[in-house]
Structure 1
C-alpha cells in the first residue's frame, strides 16, 4: 500500500467534521515533500460518501456479501428473460434498501443523523456497486468522496468519485468493535430459598401496589410531557440537519477559498516579478535616451 493510501484510509475513516482539520494538519506535517500536495488535494467526502465509507469499515462482511451477490447477478442476467430481470431488479432494490437501513443505524451511532435525501444517495451507491464492477471497487475502497450512480448499461466513470486513482483495487480495513465482557454467573443452592422467595414476593407486591398508585397519578402529566418533548425533539433534529448541511456548505466554501487564495498569491508573485522586470527595462531605456541626448 502506498503512503498516500495509508494516510487516506485513516482520514476517510474519521468523523466527517474531523476530516478537513486532520487533512490540513497532515499536509502541514509533510510540508516540503511531494506527498504534502497530494494530501492537501484529498477532497472532503460528501455526507452520503462518508456514510458509505463508514458502512464499509463497520459492516465489512455485509458489504462484501452485497458485492458478491452483485457479481453473481451480473454474470447471470445475460441469460435472463424480461420477467426474470424485473424480478432481479426488485430483489436488488430490497437488498440495497435493507443495507441502507443498516448504514443509517451505523451513522446514527456515530453521531450523524442521515436524511432521506442522503439515504437515497447511499442506496444509489450500493446499487451502482452491484451493477458495475468498477463502482464495486470504488465502494470497497472506503475512499469515496461522492456518491456513485450507474445504469449497468454503460461503464461508469468512477475516477472523480474516489480520493485517488489508486484507490480502485484498494480495500479499506474493517473496524473491529469488541463486545462488552460479561461476567460468569453461578447458581448456589439456598436451603431457605422458598421461604425467602415468598417473603420477597409479598414485599415486592406491597411496594408494587404503592408504586402503581403513584404512577397512575403521574401518568397523565407524563404522557403530556412526552408528547411535548417528542415534538420538540423532531424540531431540534430538523434544525440540526439544517445546521449540518450549512456547515458542510461553509467548509466546502472555505476549502475553495483556500485554493483560490493560493492561486491569487501565485498570480501576485508572478505580477510582481513582471513589474520588477518592466521597471528595470524602463530605467535602462531612460538611461540610453539620456546618453543619446548628450
Structure 2
C-alpha cells in the first residue's frame, strides 16, 4: 500500500507568539540561550515546526528590549496612554490650533516621562541605557502615539528593533516585531510593585485652559530663553576676551622668538670676530716677543762697544 505524505498543518501564529512572549520578556543577554532551550524543548515535544520557527526569532536591540520591558511592567499606563492617543487622533480634526499645540506639548512631555521610566526600569534590571538608546525608546513611544499600527506593534512586547513614524501607517511591521502575524497577542504584564506612574495625557476641554497653560508655558520658556541668552552672551564675551588676549600673547611670543633669533645671530658673529681677534693677538704677541729679543741683542752689542 502506497504511503501518502500529507503536509504538516501550518503553525498557528498564536502558538509561536506564546513562546516568543516568554523569550522577549527576558534580558538581551539571556535571549539566545533561552531561545536555544525553547528550540530544544519543542523538538523534544515532537514539534519540529515550532522548533524551526522559534529558532528564527531575532535577538532584540537594547532599545527594543527596553520598550518590551516597559510594556510589561507599566502595562496599565501604556494601555491608557495609547487609548488616549487614539482618542486624540480621532478628535484632532475638531481641535483648533492652540489646543493641538497644547496637546502636542503634553504628548512630548508624556513620552519623555515614559522614556525616563524605561531608563529607570532598565536600571532595575541591571542595564544602563545610553542617551542615544533613550532617544530611540522615546521615538518608538512617539510613533505609537501617532500611528495605530505602531501602537499595536508596541503592545505585543516583541519588538526586535526601534523605529519611528510620522503617523502614516507605512511601518514595515515584519522588520520590527517578532511574529507579525499575531499582533493581536499582547505582551503578558509582569506583576511587580510599580513606581508612581508618569502624568497621564488627557483631553483638554474647550474652556480656555489649554490656551492659559500654553501661555504660561510660553512665558516660562521665554524667561528660560532670556536667562540662557544672557548666560550665553556673557560666556561668549569671555571667550572673545580670551581670544584677543591669546592673539596678543602670540604676537608677543613671536616678537620674543624673533628677538632671540637676532641675539643668537649676534652671539655667532661675536664668536667669529673674537676668534679672528684671538688669532691677531697671538700673531702680535709673537712679533712683540721677536722685537724684544732684537732689542736685547742690539743693547748687548752697544754695551760691548763701550
Q: Is structure 2 residue 49 aligned with structure 1 residue 37?
A: no
**CA spacing shift, 1:82–1:176, aligned 2, 3 Å:** same
Deviation at 1:145, TM superposition (A): 0.7
CA drift at 1:29: 3.0
1:11-33: CA deviations, max 9, x gaps?
00011100011112221333361
Task: Please list the CA deviations of residues 115-166 of structure 1 after superposition, one character each: whole Å capped at 9, or x if unmatched.
Answer: 1100011111111111111111111111111113110145433232110122
Corresponding residue to 1:86 among 101, 126, 135: 101
Q: Of 28, 33, 36, which residue of structure 2 is paired with 1:24?
A: 36
Please tell me whether the aligned partners of residues 148 and 158 of structure 1 are also in contact (alpha carbons under 8 angstroms). no
Contact 1:143 1:167 in 2 (8 A): no
Structure 1 counterpart of 2:84, from 58, 63, 69: 69
How many residues in Structure 1 have an aligned counterpart in Structure 2?
A: 179
Q: Which structure carries more relative contact order (alpha carbon 8 Å, separation 6+)? A: 2
Are the equivalent residues in 1 in contact too, given 2:67–2:157 (CA < 8 A)? yes
**SS at structure 1 position matched to 2:165:** coil
Paired with 1:118 and 1:90, the residues of 2 have a C-alpha distance of 22
- The alpha carbon displacement at 1:42 in A equals 0.3
User: Is the Cα–Cα contact under 8 Å of residues 146 and 162 in structure 1 kept in the other structure?
Assistant: yes
Question: Is 1:120–2:135 an aligned residue pair?
Answer: yes
Deviation sequence 1:7-62 (CA, Å, 0-9, x none): 10110001110001111222133336111111011000110110000001111111
Local SS of the residue matching 2:86: helix
Any idea what the Cα deviations from partners look like across 1:186-220, whole Å, max 9, x if unmatched? Answer: xxxxxxxxxxxxxxxxxxxxxxxxxxxxxxxxxxx
Deviation at 1:69, TM superposition (A): 1.5
Would you say 1:144 and 2:156 are equivalent positions? no
User: TM-score w.r.t. structure 2 length?
Assistant: 0.55
Q: TM (normalized to structure 1)?
A: 0.58
> Residue 98 of structure 1 corresponds to which residue in structure 2?
113
- Contact 1:148–1:161, Cα closer than 8 Å, also in 2: yes
- Counterpart check, 1:9 vs 2:21: yes
Q: Please state whether the residue corresponding to 2:57 is helix, strand or coil.
A: coil
The answer for unaligned runs of 5 or more in structure 2 is 1-12, 195-306
> Kindly tell me: are residues 92 and 11 of structure 1, through their superposed partners in 2, closer, same or farther at Cα, counting changes over 3 Å?
same
Bigger Rg, structure 1 or 2: 2
Unaligned regions of 5+ residues in structure 1, if any?
180-294
Indicate conservation of the 8 Å contact 2:14/2:185, yes or no: no
1:222 aligned residue: none
Distance across 2 between alignment mates of 1:102 and 1:177? 15
Q: Is the 8 A contact 1:43 1:163 kept in 2?
A: yes
Aligned equivalents of 2:20 and 2:172: distance in 1? 21
Give RMSD over aligned pairs: 1.8
Q: Say yes or no: does 1:50 pair with 2:65.
A: yes
